[in-house]
Structure 1
């Protein structure tokens, strides 16, 4: 069983962080849609918005993705926890896939190296937020603490006692 802290004291900080990332992505997407309106959906042009290269397809996906992250941050609780875990993994995966496709015709989202780096950073931050923003009852916290502090004798400890 994995250890994911429940009711971590820095939960509000992580919630704010994931909300700000969602807001940035949403604003990026809206400006990107405005800048690329009329362009082909998967255009490989040279449109830059807020430091990232984009096309209409990437801008539309960013609006949706940013809205989901921002909504999860507003809702909070375990909804935010699950969204952040999934979104962090998606950020990292998309950054990696698009980095491998960057110099090919399969670069349908018009990524640059900056986009991949930002995707990795956002992915790590959102994933970290997801690891620390789980909410639970007092009973859940107590059970988690019992699990964390349970000691199991190791083979080295057993041999040092002469067992």
Structure 2
């Protein structure tokens, strides 16, 4: 037979602190230095992909050709060129919008590039290699994916973020409140002059 203890009247049950969920759609201030990093990352990687795609289309390679046509040392075909242009333009959109959108877009596309590298590595010598990938394309995919992830996660994913970082502040609202109260107390203290 179990007994249940009820809290005595007049005693309060301890309050549990609930952590707020971090909202990734909150925008950084327009001039925040992190936003500049995300914009530069999206712009640089977008430019690389755009140039690769345009050079591939200029050569007028067939859309599903797997004949070994190369552009800047990478195998390509029309489909890969158009896909590169589309992703490059999407990264330019991220560069223009900036903030959390650019950061999240960089991370998502970085993961997509790394997954693409693994998938195309498995398809290299098969009839399903519609994008005409070769080993150098796989390595390029890994490098671009890693760079996009680094640009996207910069200042957002780390154990040692400074306390003025907006992501640190969103993850530690109790500590932010304590710091604000401490700074208010410090500001309210009278200054003793001799």
User: TM-score per shorter chain, which class?
Assistant: 0.7 to 0.9
Query: Which residue does 2:87 correspond to in 1?
Result: 65
The offset of 1:34, in angstroms, is 1.5
1:20-31 → structure 2 map (5 Å cutoff): 20-31=44-55
1:142 to 140, 145, 169: 169
> Helix, strand or coil for the counterpart of 1:82?
helix
Describe the SS at the equivalent of 1:80: helix
* SS across alignment from 1:25: helix
Structure 1 equivalent of residue 118 of structure 2: 96
TM value normalised by structure 2: 0.63
Q: Deviations over 1:111-162 (max 9, x none)?
A: 011111111111011012111266xx9876534355799xxxxxxxxxxxxx
- Whose Rg is larger? 2
2:76 is the alignment partner of 1:54: yes
The equivalent residue for 2:39 is 15
Number of residue pairs matched? 143
Q: Does 1:36 align with 2:63?
A: no
Aligned residue number for residue 130 of structure 2:
108
Q: CA RMSD in A?
A: 3.0
Distance 1:100 1:24, change over 3 A: same
Runs of 4+ deviating beyond 2 Å: 6-15, 137-149
Greater relative contact order, per chain length (Cα 8 Å cut-off, separation 6+): 1
CA shift, 1:45, in A, is 1.2
1:45 to 1:129, Cα distance in 2 relative to 1, 3 A: same
Q: 5+ residue gaps in structure 1?
A: 150-163
> Tell me, what secondary structure is at the counterpart of 2:40?
helix
Kept after mapping to 2: 8 A contact 1:80/1:133: no
- How far the C-alpha of 1:70 sits from its partner, in A, is 1.8
* Pairing 1:85–2:78 present: no
- Indicate the SS of the match to 2:132: coil
Is 2:34–2:99's contact at 8 Å kept on the other side of the alignment? no
